[in-house]
């Protein structure tokens, strides 16, 4: 199984890239987020790989960081989420944003992703709710409880990704944090803040 490629970027397009490793060109499919991090051809690049072997194909999916690769693996465990849909989700939402959407049970954000309909969005929220908190965000693991200031900032960031301005989300988050106290968890703060903002 191929887990990592280090080679020259030969070509980039909307759906993937070709990485030349010692004269062998590997076709790698990737999210737009990963493709945006790759250097302009013919520069060298290092890409994490998830290999998928099917009866009719040997497919390589590339990732700029382990967090995105781990999310790809988790997303493809959900019935109805193939590699193409998983990459579309990761193109639209960074791991941190995906965690925020799942914690807030935000179907609207998920259904905005091409290939994710209302039923699949509900399935994603249901099946990943208990797993999302332990997933990497790209900047560490969310399972460790952040400090109060960090928790507020993360909640406000998640609400901003859902379309709320800081001026309206900050007071709501402050009220919820005061009510929940030091044992507050990010998903609860986001959920309760959304209820507060909806009033």
Note whether 72 and 51 are same-domain residues: no
pLDDT of 194 above 60: yes
135 or 141, which is more confident? 135
Task: Confirm whether 141 is domain-assigned.
Answer: no
Note whether 54 and 70 are same-domain residues: no
Q: Are 53 and 19 in contact (CB under 8 A)?
A: no
**Distance between CA atoms of residues 13 and 110, nearest Å:** 25
pLDDT value of position 137:
66
Note whether 176 and 187 are same-domain residues: yes
> What CATH number is attached to the domain comprising 35?
2.40.50.140
Note whether 70 and 124 are same-domain residues: yes
> What CATH number is attached to the domain comprising 114?
1.10.150.20
Q: Compute the half-sphere exposure of residue 147: CA atoms within 13 Å on the CB side of its CA.
A: 2
Task: Confirm whether 143 is domain-assigned.
Answer: no
Domain range spanning residue 192? 148-198
pLDDT value of position 138:
60
Which of 63, 85, 113 terminates a domain? The answer is: 63
Could you tell me what percent of the chain has a pLDDT over 70?
Answer: 92
Task: Confirm whether 142 is domain-assigned.
Answer: no
Phi, psi of 109 (to 5 degrees): -65, -40
Task: Confirm whether 137 is domain-assigned.
Answer: no
Note whether 48 and 70 are same-domain residues: no
Q: Compute the half-sphere exposure of residue 110: CA atoms within 13 Å on the CB side of its CA.
A: 27
Note whether 125 and 174 are same-domain residues: no
Task: Confirm whether 138 is domain-assigned.
Answer: no
Task: Confirm whether 90 is domain-assigned.
Answer: yes
Number of domains in the chain: 3
Task: Confirm whether 140 is domain-assigned.
Answer: no
> What CATH number is attached to the domain comprising 165?
1.10.8
Q: Are 58 and 44 in contact (CB under 8 A)?
A: no
Note whether 155 and 125 are same-domain residues: no
Q: Report DSSP letters for the chain, one per residue.
A: ---EEEEEEEEE-SSEEEEEETTEEEEEEE-HHHHHHSPSTTSEEEEEEEEEE-SS-EEEEEESSHHHHHHHHHHTTSTT--HHHHHHHHHHS-HHHHHHHHHTT-HHHHHTSTT--HHHHHHHHHHHHHHHTTSB-SSSBTTSPPPHHHHHHHHHHHHHHTT--HHHHHHHHHHHHHHHGGG--HHHHHHHHHHHHH-
Note whether 127 and 77 are same-domain residues: yes
Which of 44, 63, 82 terminates a domain? The answer is: 63
pLDDT of 59 above 50: yes
Using a cut of 0.85, tell me whether the model's pTM lies above it.
no
Task: Confirm whether 139 is domain-assigned.
Answer: no
Span 48-75, average pLDDT: 92
The answer, yes or no, to whether the previous bond of 42 is cis (omega within 30 of 0) is yes
Note whether 153 and 126 are same-domain residues: no
Note whether 74 and 124 are same-domain residues: yes
Note whether 36 and 51 are same-domain residues: yes
Q: Are 170 and 176 in contact (CB under 8 A)?
A: no
pLDDT value of position 141:
28
Note whether 70 and 52 are same-domain residues: no
């Amino acid at each position: 199984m191929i887990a990592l490629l280090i080679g020259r970027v030969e070509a980039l397009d909307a759906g993937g890239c070709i990485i030349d490793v010692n004269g062998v060109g590997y076709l790698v499919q990737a999210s737009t987020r990963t493709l945006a991090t790759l250097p302009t051809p013919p520069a060298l690049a290092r890409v994490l790989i998830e290999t998928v072997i099917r009866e009719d194909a040997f497919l390589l999916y590339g990732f700029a960081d382990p967090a995105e690769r781990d999310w790809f693996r988790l997303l493809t465990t959900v019935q109805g989420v193939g590699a193409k849909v998983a990459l579309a989700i990761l193109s639209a939402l960074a791991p941190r944003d995906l965690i925020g959407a799942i914690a807030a049970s935000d179907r609207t954000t998920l259904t905005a992703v091409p290939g994710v309909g209302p039923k699949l969005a509900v399935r994603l929220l249901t099946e990943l709710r208990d797993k999302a908190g332990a997933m990497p965000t790209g900047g560490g693991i969310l399972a460790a409880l952040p400090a109060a200031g960090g928790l507020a900032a993360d909640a406000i960031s998640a609400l901003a990704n859902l379309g709320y301005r800081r001026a309206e989300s900050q007071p709501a988050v402050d009220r919820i944090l005061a009510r929940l106290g030091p044992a507050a968890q990010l998903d609860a703060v986001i959920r309760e803040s959304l209820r507060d903002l909806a009033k």
